[in-house]
Structure formats: C-alpha cells, structure tokens
Amino acid sequence: MGKISLRKAGKQYGTVEIIRDLDLEIADGEFVVIVGPSGCGKSTLLRMIAGLEATTAGQIVIDGRDVTEALPVERKLAMVFQSYALYPHMTVRQNMGFGLKLAKLSSGAIKTKVDAAADTLKLTPLLDRYPKELSGGQRQRVAIGRAIVREPVGFLFDEPLSNLDAALRVDMRLEIAKLHRTLGTTMIYVTHDQVEAMTLADRIVVLKDGRVMQQGTPYELYEKPANLFVAQFIGSPKMNILACKRNGDGQLDLSGQGFLEMPLRSDAVPVQLGARPEHLSLVAPENGHCRGTVEAREYLGGTTSVFVRNPELGLINVSAPAETGFGIGETVGIHIDNVRLSLFDAAGAAVISSR
C-alpha cells in the first residue's frame, strides 16, 4: 500500500510561507509528478512528505496513519536525491544494504535483497565498486537501488535526472517508467523539466508559490489548462498569449488586428487568448485571422519555429513545416485553430467556451 494524503499541509520558515493549505491525495501505485518554477516549494513539499522538513500546519497521512510528526524512517518511504547522496566510503553493495543493516536484518537477508535489486537495475558487476569509480548514470542507479531494497510504500524522487547529460536522461527516464510498471509502487517525482513530467506522470501537479495551480493528467494540463500560469508553464515551446476582447457579434476581437469566430457562454469575459504554436499556421496575408512580419526562424529538424511580429499582439511563435517557404521580413497571415485554443479572463482563470 502507498496511499499518501496531504491535508491542509503548510510550511512556514519564520514569517515566510512556503507551502500553504495544500491538499493532495495520491492513490496507491500512482505516479505523481510535481512541477513548478524554481522556488515554488516543490522540493520543500517532497521533503515534508519524506519527513526531512517539519510540517508546520495540517497533516500528512500515509495509508490512513497520521505521520505528520513521524521520523523519516517510520514513514516507510525511500528517497532518491538530486546529488545521489551515496555514502562515499561504502561500496555499492554496502550503500544499498546500509538501511537494511540499520534495520538489523541478517546478512543473508541483506545479500538476497541487494542482489535482487542489483539484478533489476543491472548493477551486479558494480557491487564491489566505490561511488567514485562509477559514472553519473551508474551512481543514479545505485541511488535508486538503495531505495528499492527497502521495499518502501512509496518512492520520492527529487529532480533525480538533472545532473545527467541529455542522452542519459532519456535512458534513465525510460528506466524509471519501467521500474514503476514493474514495482507498481507509489512514486512522487519532483522536477522542473516538463518533458519528464509529461512522459512519466499519471498525474501532474503544478505548483506556484506553494499552491496547487492545477492537477490532472498530462493531457488535461496540456489541452485544458485551468489558468494562464499552467498554460504557459506546460508545453515547449510556450503557448502564445494574445490580448483579445469579446465584441457584440459573439466574435473575439484580436486587439483590432483581426477577428475570430468563437461561440462563448453569455457571461464569459475573456481578455487573453492562448494558442500553442502547433495550433497556428502560416497562410497568405489576406487569409489569416491576423497578420504580421516574420522576424526570426528557428529550424528544429522536424519543424521550424517562425516568429511573427504583430504591432499590437507582439511576437507570435508559429510551428511551421520544416521546409516552410516564408522568409524573414515577409508579411504573413496567421490562421488560428479556434477549436484548440484557450481563453482566459482578467484574473488569469480559464474561460470555458460554449463548445
């Protein structure tokens, strides 16, 4: 079992509030990724769950047991640190078995468990090496192995891949996903890398200033962001945000630069329109919803990002086919897919259209 609940949890350092009234229910076996910009409190939240950081308000409950005041070890969670935090004076085997040894398991039992975990993580040939003799990826695997042997009810990952190079990161990401499928244990994963969040998560929790901005499946967050912050935070390249207003004919007025048909609920007052680069396309100037001048192009292999400058709407990023013919300085039209765009009111909250 590994059901983790946070009830009105809070963390305060002196007068500074890092986490406020946070409610979060994590089901057994779920893979939850917590994302957010630097300083949003995501690592603090993870450390509160781990018990490394005192919770100053609310409750943390694991499998029905209130562990708010419990020691880290009593929570039966394992943590993988960003810096790996391997014990440098111990071999891989000793590193992985340290927790079991402290729990006073027999050396035979420790050996069996360590060997099994090493086998899962392909660490068997490295068991007698010291951390300094391992590569970054191997060290990370040992850190994960140290977590696995304890058979915890949940794993906590604190930006575990951020010290690895890009290629290795992809491999380790796949390995962690596979591990989750094999073990079926609850995993809470903190990252600022939204690719990791999108690919690994059953559910993503977006945090800002210690508050949950939105939680949902990667699909929900990408397609139906609840607010402007999530809209801009999730997705790379970022969503374009264009100023707009509703006019009497039920159309959206793009700051006088064009019009867009958009059936809206009568009380909805959108002021900003969010459109992802791939939901925009370049057309002849007279055919678009708005127009502008191509200011820059970034060839990305599969596609080309074309940056179009509109005097009122600003710089708009359009994802065009890689071989797009529109060149710098050219005037182009932008077609907006009105089915997949998002609308936001003055407070930044999503406005639901009548579709």
Partner 1 sequence: MINALRWLVFAIAAFAMNFPILVTLVTSFKSTRELSTNPGLWVQAPTLDNYLAVFQVSDRLNIFLYLFNSITVAFIGTTLAVVLALPAAYAIARGRLGERTLLPFIVNLRAVPLIIFAIPLYMMFQWLALLDTRLGLGLILSIVNLPLALVILVNAIRDLPGELDEAALMDGASRTQILLRVIAPVCRPAIVTSLIFGFITAWNEFLFGLMLTTSKAVPITVGASFFFAASGGGVQWGVASAVMVVGALPPVLLGLIMYRQISGSMTAGAVKG
CA triplet 152, 156, 158: central angle to 5 degrees?
150
CB 350, min distance to partner 1, A: 38
Taking the least distance from each CB to partner 1, the nearer of 89 and 181 is: 89
CB 8, min distance to partner 1, A: 25
By CB under 8 A, name the binding residues for partner 1: 50-52, 71-73, 77-79, 81-89, 98-99, 102-103, 130-134, 136, 139, 146, 150, 163
Our measurement of the distance from residue 84's CA atom to the centroid of its chain's CA atoms, rounded to an integer in Å, reads 20
Taking the least distance from each CB to partner 1, the nearer of 136 and 314 is: 136
Helix (H, G, I), strand (E, B) or coil at 221: helix
Instruction: Answer left, alpha or beta for residue 293, where phi above 0 means left and psi between -120 and 50 means alpha.
Output: beta
Closest CA to 351 of 227, 212, 215: 227
CB 142, min distance to partner 1, A: 10
CB 136, min distance to partner 1, A: 7
CB 183, min distance to partner 1, A: 17
CB 127, min distance to partner 1, A: 15
Instruction: Answer left, alpha or beta for residue 331, where phi above 0 means left and psi between -120 and 50 means alpha.
Output: beta
CA pair distance 229, 216, nearest whole angstrom: 15
Taking the least distance from each CB to partner 1, the nearer of 168 and 243 is: 168
Taking the least distance from each CB to partner 1, the nearer of 73 and 109 is: 73
Instruction: Answer left, alpha or beta for residue 314, where phi above 0 means left and psi between -120 and 50 means alpha.
Output: left
Taking the least distance from each CB to partner 1, the nearer of 80 and 320 is: 80
Taking the least distance from each CB to partner 1, the nearer of 42 and 150 is: 150
Taking the least distance from each CB to partner 1, the nearer of 148 and 308 is: 148
Residue pair 66/60 in contact (Cβ under 8 Å)? The answer is yes
CB 165, min distance to partner 1, A: 12
Closest CA to 149 of 127, 125, 171, 170: 127
CA triplet 124, 174, 1: central angle to 5 degrees?
80
